[in-house]
């Protein structure tokens, strides 16, 4: 049956892949990014916004509910990273990362959970990273913003469980996208070597976990973080 998805960060990378994947399965996808849409599909709607802009997020959720009457799935994918030693990280960069990764996810969870509560049904998947459990040097702020997502996921799962809303997170290993294109080769290889399975993640690895979390049979699975590549949380 066709479902209504909200996916953040759909202009490129994993988010674009997710939007196309769920559109091709006959679903409705409402996406967003700061830049303009790169997806043309009759069942796709795009909002140009910054996920940390409260007013814009409220408006997007309200318009989605108005047009499609329900929201079944939220994939909180939009994210940014910046490889930087803590000594040389400007406060502005740190705030930017938290605004997008943490506050953006929080706003979408809060607004969409209000819709899902009334439906007594919903699935939320957030984006974590292996950089958090690996305590990755050079990624302190990024990893910390995602550590906050993990805690948010675990507690939101408890707060929303009574409404039949599950909240989980996927923690990818490096997946070749623009997000990691500036990481030096030797640093990337050293990171892959710390995984149990020493290869880059692929889009299919990420979507496999999401498909599992949003499956109707997964209604007893909430507050979980699945890290890829054999990294333990």
Ligand X SMILES: NC(=O)c1ccc[n+]([C@@H]2O[C@H](COP(=O)([O-])OP(=O)(O)OC[C@H]3O[C@@H](n4cnc5c(N)ncnc54)[C@H](OP(=O)(O)O)[C@@H]3O)[C@@H](O)[C@H]2O)c1
* Residue indicated by tokens 């699975």: 221
Residue 14 lies near ligand X (rule: CB under 6 A): yes
Q: Which stretch binds ligand X (CB under 6 A): 27-35, 111-119, 155-163, 185-193?
A: 27-35
Q: Which of 44, 102, 108, 127 binds ligand X (CB under 6 A)?
A: 127
Residues 100 and 79 sit within 8 Å (Cβ to Cβ): yes
The pattern of x and - marking residues 169 through 208 that bind ligand X according to CB under 6 A reads ---x-xx-xxxx----------------------------
The pattern of x and - marking residues 63 through 92 that bind ligand X according to CB under 6 A reads --------------xxxxx-----------
Least spacing, CB of residue 181 vs ligand X, in Å: 9
Q: Which of 25, 34, 69, 158 binds ligand X (CB under 6 A)?
A: 34
Least spacing, CB of residue 45 vs ligand X, in Å: 15
Instruction: Please report, as ranges, the residues that interact with ligand X according to CB under 6 A.
Output: 8-15, 32-35, 50-52, 77-81, 100, 104, 127, 129, 172, 174-175, 177-180
């Amino acid at each position: 049956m066709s479902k209504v998805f909200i996916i953040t960060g759909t202009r490129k990378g994993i988010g674009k892949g997710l939007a196309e994947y769920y559109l091709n399965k006959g679903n409705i996808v409402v996406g967003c990014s700061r830049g303009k849409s790169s997806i043309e599909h009759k069942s796709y709607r795009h909002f140009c916004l910054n996920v940390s802009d409260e007013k814009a997020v409220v408006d997007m959720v309200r318009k989605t509910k108005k047009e499609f009457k329900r929201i079944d799935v939220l994939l909180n994918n939009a994210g940014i990273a910046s490889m930087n030693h803590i000594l040389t990280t400007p406060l502005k960069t740190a705030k930017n990362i938290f605004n997008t990764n943490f506050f953006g996810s929080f706003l979408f969870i809060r607004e969409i959970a209000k819709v899902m509560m009334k439906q007594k049904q919903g699935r939320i998947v957030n984006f974590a990273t292996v950089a958090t459990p690996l305590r990755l040097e050079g990624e302190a702020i990024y990893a910390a913003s995602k550590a906050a997502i993990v805690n948010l996921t675990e507690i939101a799962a408890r707060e929303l469980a009574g409404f039949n809303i599950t909240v989980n997170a996927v923690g990818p290993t490096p997946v070749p996208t623009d997000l990691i294109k500036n990481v030096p080769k030797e640093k990337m290889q050293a990171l892959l070597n710390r995984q149990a399975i020493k290869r880059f993640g692929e889009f299919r690895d990420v979507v496999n976990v999401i498909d599992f979390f949003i499956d109707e049979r997964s209604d007893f699975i909430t507050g979980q973080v699945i890290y890829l590549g054999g990294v333990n949380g």
